Structure 1
Amino acid sequence: MNHTGFVVSDMGRSLDFYQDLLGLKQERNQILEGEFISELVGYPDARLHIVYLGTGDLRHSVELIQYLNPAGTAAPMPERHQVGASHLGVIVNDLDAFYAELSSRGVRFVSPPAIRPGAVYPMASKGCYMQDPDGNWLELLERPPAPEGTTQA
């Protein structure tokens, strides 16, 4: 896998969320325009502000895309159960603390962390859904410790 992309309305606000609240690091930040990008996205004279964020391992990134031309417009976000809905799963070490911190800063969650009794690595022992400032869904997961000698994936 290379990246998961989200179209956003305000890059500054999204960077505040993904960098400051979630702790992701910028891997690339650029304006893309020209024949290649116009052909790729299917819009003549396309101009996009794209930022890739990750954990620093350069394996899988979150790609934030703000369409500067044509300007992006808000659309209703599908509910989690609707066809076409998507989400990004993120593993965290202490979901309860993460939930408390983000909730205190106004992040919208579906519910507090749900607990899965008896979960065995690599299954999630806790999980919850939240939304970024544009309504894109993220699923936060906490795993039990990996058995000794297991390489974490």
Structure 2
Amino acid sequence: MAKRDDRIITSVYLTKEMCSQIDKMADRGHISRNEQIRRYIEKGLAVEGYSQDIDLIAGIIRQEVQAVYHIEDIRAVVEQQANRIAKMHMKSGKVDAAAFFLLVKVLMNVAHEGTEEQFDQMLSEAVALGVDYMQKKDFQINSFLADSGSLRRIADKL
């Protein structure tokens, strides 16, 4: 506690409910109401000081991270990799499209048994199945491809 000449007397207005709660807390700690109020004020000041310290520390950490990891450098690397992946994806799409049309051409040359209308129906069903396959979630793909019986039934429907 501060020396007598270092203290300032001040008035604080409390509601009856607040005063009652402070009195209960003071009674539990065997101290006066004034001492309980001083302790609450000290805690409040300490908490405010801690929050200012936390803001200061967070600012220092942010500053150091930005000094080591320049945001623009990170953005450039990520953008470069994203462009690389997009180009690879485009190449894969071109190969997939070529394989699709090659398969259609092979089927047209091999499948002389059916009519043109049957072939068109088979082709549109195959495209619909391809769209359905592409809409599956990642976790569904493995089980879908592992079920050879189901794949065979789907292929037989074509």
**Higher Cα radius of gyration:** 2
Sort the TM-score into its range (normalised by shorter chain): under 0.3
Q: Which has the higher contact order (CA 8 A, sep 6+)?
A: 1
Which structure's residues are more often helix, by fraction? Answer: 2
Which structure's residues are more often strand, by fraction? Answer: 1
TM-score by length of 2: 0.20
TM-score by length of 1: 0.20
